Amino acid sequence: MTTRPSPDPSPRPRLLARPRALALGAVPAVALLAVAAFAPLPYSVARPGQTTDVLGVYRGTEVISVSGAPVRRTSGQLRMAAIRATGPHVGASLSELADGWFRTDRAVMPREAVFPSGKSDEAVARHNTTEMKSSQRAATSAALRLLKQDPRRVRVRLTLDDVGGPSAGLMFSLGIVDKLAGDGSGGDLTGGRTIAGTGTIDADGTVGPVGGAALKTRAAERDGASVFLVPKAECAQLQPAPDGLRLVPVTTLRDAVHALRALAGGGRVPSC
C-alpha cells in the first residue's frame, strides 16, 4: 500500500512571508514618525507675554523712581511688552511646531535666535539680566540727555528685574520723560491713553529693532493698549495689526516723544 504524502505545509507560510515582511518593515518607519512627533527639536515656540506699565508699580515697587528733581503725577499707561518662549534646553516637539506654525499668536524660531547658544539655563538668565541692566542705564542716559538734565544730580532707579533682555529700553526712556516733563506743556505724554511699545535704545536715543514684535502687539492689544510704538525697521512685519491697535514707527526717542505729543494734541502722527 502506497501512502500518499502529506500535503507540504510550507506553501501557506511562504504566501504569508512577503506581507509579513512588509508589515515588519513598516514598523521602524511608524516608530520614527512617532518619535519625531514627540522628540524635542532645536526650536523655540514663542507666544505673547506680559506687559508692564513702567509708570506704575510692579510687585509693590515703583518701576521708575526719581530723586534730585520734581516728579509729576501721571495718568495713562506706558506698557513695555514681552514674549514668552520655551526655554533654551526645552526643545519643542513636531506637533508643537506644527501647531505654532499656523497660529497668529505663536511664532516658531530657531532656539539660537531666542537664546545665546551653548549656555546653561543659569547662564542665559544672567545674560538676559545683564542686557536688561545695560538697557536701563542707556534708557536713563537717553531720557536725561533729551531733557537736558544733569545725571550727576538727577538719579533714576528702574526696577523690573524678572524681565530680561534689552527690548524695554524705549519704554523706560519714555516713562522717565513723562515723570519728569510730561508733554512739555503741563499734560501727560500719554494723553491719558494706554500706550504700549518695544525697542532697544542707545544712550544717544537711537531706537533699535527687537525680536517678537508681532507677538508683542498681540499682548498689547490683549492688555488694552490703543497705540503701539515700534522700531520703524519692523513695521512691515506687523501687518495687519491687531484690531484697534495703531502702529506708530519710531527711530529715535525724540521721534517717540513727538509722536505721543501729537497724539495727545490731535496732530498728525506717522503710521506703519
pLDDT tens-digit readout, 201-213: 999 999 999 888 9
The larger pLDDT score, comparing residue 23 to residue 76, is at 76
Does the global pTM surpass 0.85?
no
Q: What is the mean pLDDT of the chain?
A: 81
Residue 177 to residue 64: CA distance in whole angstroms: 11
Residue 80 phi, psi dihedral angles, 5° rounding: -80, 145
Domain 49-85+120-265 has what CATH class?
Answer: alpha beta
Question: What pLDDT is stored for residue 112 in this prediction?
Answer: 62
**Is pLDDT above 60 for 2?**
no
Q: Which residue in 155, 140, 144, 158 sits closest to 62, CA to CA?
A: 158
In Å, how far from its chain's centre is CA 173?
Answer: 19
Q: Report d(CA 250, CA 270) in Å as an integer.
A: 9
Domain-wise residue ranges, the chain? 49-85+120-265
Q: pLDDT tens-digit profile of 67-123?
A: 999 999 999 999 999 988 776 555 556 666 666 556 767 777 666 656 666 566 677
Residue-level pLDDT at 110: 65
Spell out the residues 6+ positions from residue 65 whose beta carbon is closer than 8 angstroms to its own: 156, 157, 159
pLDDT digits (tens, 9 = 90+) for 174-199: 999 999 999 999 999 999 999 999 99
Cell numbers standing for residue 254: 525724540
Higher pLDDT pick, 235 / 92: 235
Task: Please check the confidence at residue 25 and state whether its pLDDT lies above 50.
Answer: no
pLDDT at residue number 60 = 93
pLDDT value of position 115: 63
Alpha-carbon gap, residue 15 to 30, rounded angstroms: 24
Q: What is the pLDDT of residue 211?
A: 82
Q: Residue 165 has what pLDDT? A: 80
**Count of CA atoms in the C-beta half-sphere (13 A) of 235:** 11
What confidence score (pLDDT) does residue 113 get? 58
